[in-house]
């Protein structure tokens, strides 16, 4: 044990370098094994919905989109507003756009009932707060929900500025009118929301709400915003559309034409 200070410092330095290198290798492996966030397809898409509220309001009390969604996703019908589950529903325009519409705005506009749903934000706050990554943003922009991972902490409900998420306070199965087997229900104690019909997009179909709307008045347009030649790309680029609470910087992908 006859080491000079010089030797000791050399070896200590080498050890430190080696350790930091190993750390990068370990982190790299951990990262590779991490669940990927891709949406599957190779093309980078940005799915979005545009809603013409005037056309929608012209249909009166039409609930085609809501009914289609409820049937498609085994959504329970719970009338108690504290426990209800909703993926898409109608809200007064004044409540949807509280900063844009005031008491002096046209009454027809203020009182218009317009469909609202998860905005599939570019910067989703719900994803930032989810402690288990049960909710995450796919490469194609869909803010997806993995019910297998949800622990029901409800941080995402607090995080969402649009109230687009619902919590299952009780077993939802008993409140489902017509149970369909090709889509799972949820269980008590998990959060759920619109997934932009990821399972339908996977087979090349449109979201259920948009399909149902097309059969009535066609107020909803669905498509790929990343493609400027798509119907929605042209619509959003040529008409003035609004998004909810833009001041929050969440960059919603549901556009409204008032």
Partner 1 sequence: MYDGAKIITGLAVFGAMVTLPAWYGWAGGSHGDAPELAPPAHGEHCVESVEFMRSSHMQLLNQWRDQAIRRGSRSYRSSSGETYKISLTGTCLDCHQAKAEFCDRCHNYMGVQPTCWNCHVEPTGVKP
Residues 99, 242 contacting (CB under 8 angstroms): no
| Gap between the Cα atoms of 206 and 211, Å rounded | 6
Is 63 strand, coil or helix?
coil
Rule CB under 8 A: is residue 73 a binding residue for partner 1? no
Rule CB under 8 A: is residue 18 a binding residue for partner 1? no
Rule CB under 8 A: is residue 193 a binding residue for partner 1? no
Least separation, in Å, of the C-beta of 160 and partner 1?
20
Rule CB under 8 A: is residue 70 a binding residue for partner 1? no
Tokens of 10: 């050399």
Span from 8-16, 155-163, 183-191, 223-231 in contact with partner 1 (CB under 8 A): 183-191
**H helix intervals, 82-203:** 93-96, 107-110, 125-129, 155-159, 198-201
> 242 phi and psi, to 5 degrees?
-120, 150
Span from 11-19, 30-38, 54-62, 248-256 in contact with partner 1 (CB under 8 A): 30-38
Nearer to partner 1, 101 or 142 (CB): 142
| Gap between the Cα atoms of 30 and 229, Å rounded | 40
Residues 58, 217 contacting (CB under 8 angstroms): yes
Rule CB under 8 A: is residue 182 a binding residue for partner 1? yes
Among 109, 157, 175, 198, contact with partner 1 (rule: CB under 8 A): 198
x/- track of binding to partner 1 for residues 117-156 (CB under 8 A): ---------------------x-x---x-xxx--------
| Residue 59: Cβ within 10 Å count | 13
Nearer to partner 1, 82 or 182 (CB): 182
Rule CB under 8 A: is residue 59 a binding residue for partner 1? no
Which DSSP letter does residue 175 get? G
Instruction: Dihedral sign for Cα 153, 200, 137, 158, please.
Output: negative
Least separation, in Å, of the C-beta of 183 and partner 1?
8
Rule CB under 8 A: is residue 184 a binding residue for partner 1? yes
Rule CB under 8 A: is residue 180 a binding residue for partner 1? yes
E-only strand ranges, 15-110: 47-52, 88-92
Nearer to partner 1, 75 or 219 (CB): 75
Q: Which residues bind partner 1 (CB under 8 A)?
A: 35-41, 74, 138, 140, 144, 146-148, 179-187, 198, 202
């Amino acid at each position: 044990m006859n080491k000079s200070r010089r030797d000791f410092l050399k070896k200590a330095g080498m050890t430190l370098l080696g350790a930091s290198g190993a750390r990068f290798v370990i982190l790299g492996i951990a990262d590779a094994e991490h669940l990927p966030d891709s949406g599957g397809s190779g093309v980078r898409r940005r799915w979005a919905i545009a809603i013409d509220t005037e056309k929608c309001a012209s249909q009166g009390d039409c609930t085609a989109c809501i009914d289609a969604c409820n049937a498609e996703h085994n959504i329970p019908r719970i009338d108690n507003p504290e426990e209800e589950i909703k993926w898409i529903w109608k809200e007064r325009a004044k409540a949807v756009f509280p900063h844009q519409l005031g008491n002096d705005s046209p009454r027809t506009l203020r009182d218009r009932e317009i469909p609202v749903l998860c905005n599939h934000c570019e910067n989703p706050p719900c994803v930032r707060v989810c402690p288990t990554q049960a909710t995450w943003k796919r490469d194609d922009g869909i803010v997806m929900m993995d019910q297998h991972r949800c622990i029901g902490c409800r941080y995402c409900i607090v995080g969402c500025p649009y109230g687009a998420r619902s919590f299952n306070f009780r077993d939802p199965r008993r409140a489902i009118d017509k149970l369909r087997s090709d889509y799972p229900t949820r269980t008590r104690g998990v959060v759920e929301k619109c997934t932009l019909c990821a399972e339908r997009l996977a087979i090349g179909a449109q979201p259920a709400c948009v399909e149902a709307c097309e059969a009535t008045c066609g107020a909803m347009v669905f498509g790929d915003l990343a493609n400027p030649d798509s119907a929605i790309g042209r619509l959003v680029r040529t008409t003035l559309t609004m998004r909810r609470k833009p001041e929050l910087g969440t960059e919603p992908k549901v556009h409204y034409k008032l």
